[in-house]
Amino acid sequence: MVKVVKPLGDDKLPLTKPMVGVAGKTGLWRNMKPVVNVDKCTRCYQCEIYCPVNTIIVEPETGAVINYDYCKGCGLCADVCPSGAIVMVPELGE
């Protein structure tokens, strides 16, 4: 980040700091849950690029891994996945 002059000291200026979960655990908003089939995942990174909440990380070893604490369950990852490796299932079962 760009260095700012702090005449009062770091703790006295009411500056915001980068923080995970400014709106709380947004995973609680979800009623449909994306589930990854790692065998079908081709590691194309589409879901990670498009995920609006940045909860998906794709690694060559693990495939797409979703952070369910913050996933809002929009289903965008399942829609952009070209190999059909992500499916949406109801959060509380059938």
Fill in the per-residue mask, 60 to 89: x = in contact with other proteins (CB under 8 A), - = not in contact.
x--x---x-xx-xxxxx-xxx-------x-
29 binds other proteins (CB under 8 A): yes
Nearest to 77 by CA among 59, 50, 54, 57: 50
Instruction: Out of 36, 48, 64, 85, name the contact with other proteins by CB under 8 A.
Output: 48
36 binds other proteins (CB under 8 A): no
Q: Hey, what's the torsion of the CAs at 80, 49, 34, 62, to 10 degrees?
A: 120
Instruction: Out of 9, 52, 82, 93, name the contact with other proteins by CB under 8 A.
Output: 52
Q: Which two tokens stand for residue 3?
A: 């260095």
If residue 89 lies in a helix (H) or strand (E), which one and from where to where? strand 86-90
Instruction: Out of 10, 19, 92, 94, name the contact with other proteins by CB under 8 A.
Output: 19
